[in-house]
Amino acid sequence: MTKHIDTIAVHAGREDFQELGIHAAPLDFSSTYPVKDLESGRDSIDALAAGGATADSPIYARLHNPTVHRYECAFAKLENAEAGIAFASGMSAIHAVLMSLKIRAMQDAVVRNHIVAVRPIYGCTDHLLSSGLLGFDVDWVQEHEIKATVREDTALVIIETPANPTLSLVDIEDVVKQAGTVPVMVDNTFATPLLQSPLALGATFSVHSATKYLGGHGDVIAGMIATDESWAAHIRQIRILTGGNMHPMAAYLLLRSLPTLPMRVERAQQNAIHLANKLEAHPAVAKVHYPGLAASDPRGLVAKQMKGPGSVISIEMVGGYEAASKAMKSTKLFIPAVSLGSTDSLIEHPAGLTHRIVSEDGRKSGGVTEGMLRLAVGIENQDDLWADIDQAISE
């Protein structure tokens, strides 16, 4: 029987609960594990070192943890992926994808040190690519320029949609077509698996800062990758070598949050739609960036590749930086803080906070202005949220 995704969210990771006689996920803090005998231990190490998802014995927590693996399997079901791989943070997950490209290139005995990326994306991802730290040559392009920019040594195309912080949309199927045989990585954090399925649209990797909606309560740092098993094996090898493992407590918290993910995403989205329509008519707001507004989605991409516009809004203030700074100081319910996807609403200034690490030219080309504020809408009462933001931007 095919199940709806909101049912999957409730039951994923719980398939063996009745057999185990439990109702809450088990939490395994072990750093090391006994082996049955030397031969089975040796076989387990070989299996895990080769990038396998499981083995007879976990051996050592850097190689495998049962609680983390339980969440990986649950997450993979949400993304309809062959594999989910868990990391200590979203940036650790992105780093592992980039390093896995090098493993694949080495195995193929070719050089692939070129990346094509579309701005805007998360500020730290932008900075990592621009820093040259990992030895990649990066071309920053517009969506329609991808095909012309892909080279023989191109290892990856990177996009984020909806993009952070402008909420601009990228046509995933079009990008995959332009990329040809080159893998495509989609940062799916803003949409979540509830609203968008990049792998079903042809992407190779769907990555998440699980800190955001997947965690949903502002109390966990984590990252996730969904992909096929052939790439997952390489990525697990990177995780073993670099030690970017998700802590089992983080996996436990993510499992706890999974059943309420559909309700949280839907309620926050309803609130965001309400606020975006009101903000569009507010005299203090020069522009509203929100996929649920026709002006922000002229190609109809929400209808094409999403199940809804999500719950992040960015606005550009008529008074520029000074008006944005004043509004941040004036909110009472919207908490002035970075991050998003929690039950409470947050407000931040991308140019001064999340994207401050991006070069000035990078911010400009990505549409990140000094008068922009990003609203991460939570699940509070929408009338209370509107009263708060209205008084803050009207003063």
Whether the per-residue pLDDT at 1 is higher than 90: the answer is no
Distances (CA, A) of 388 to 279, 317, 347, 377: 12, 16, 11, 12
Could you say which DSSP state residue 181 is in?
Answer: T
Residue 2: per-residue pLDDT: 77
Task: Tell me where in the chain the CATH 3.40.640.10 domain(s) lie.
Answer: 5-260
Whether the per-residue pLDDT at 382 is higher than 80: the answer is yes
Give the contacts of 76 (CB within 8 A, at least 6 positions apart). Answer: 82, 83, 84, 226
Whether the per-residue pLDDT at 395 is higher than 80: the answer is no
The residues with which 288 forms a beta bridge, in sequence order, are: 315
Taking a C-beta distance cutoff of 8 angstroms, is the pair 176, 134 a contact?
no
The gap between the terminal CA atoms of the chain, to the nearest Å, is: 55
Task: Tell me where in the chain the CATH 3.90.1150.10 domain(s) lie.
Answer: 261-394
The superfamily CATH assigns to domain 261-394 is Aspartate Aminotransferase, domain 1 (3.90.1150.10)
Burial of 256 (0-12, 13-18, 19+ CB in 10 A): middle
Question: How does residue 318 score in pLDDT terms, banded at 50, 70 and 90?
Answer: very high
CATH code of the domain occupying 5-260: 3.40.640.10
> Please, what is the average pLDDT of the chain?
97
Distances (CA, A) of 362 to 74, 118, 213, 366: 36, 11, 26, 6
d(CA 163, CA 311): 12
- Three-state SS sequence of 337-391: CCCCCCCCCEEECCCCCCCCCCCHHHHHHCCCCCCEEEEECCCCCHHHHHHHHHH
Taking a C-beta distance cutoff of 8 angstroms, is the pair 328, 348 a contact?
yes
Residue 73: per-residue pLDDT: 98
d(CA 279, CA 300): 21
Distances (CA, A) of 296 to 202, 293, 350, 364: 24, 5, 18, 18
Q: Please name the residue that has the structure tokens 């400009």.
A: 364
**Residue pLDDT, tens place only, 90-132:** 999 999 999 999 999 999 999 999 999 999 999 999 999 999 9
Tokens standing for 367?
A: 């549409």
Residue 162: per-residue pLDDT: 98
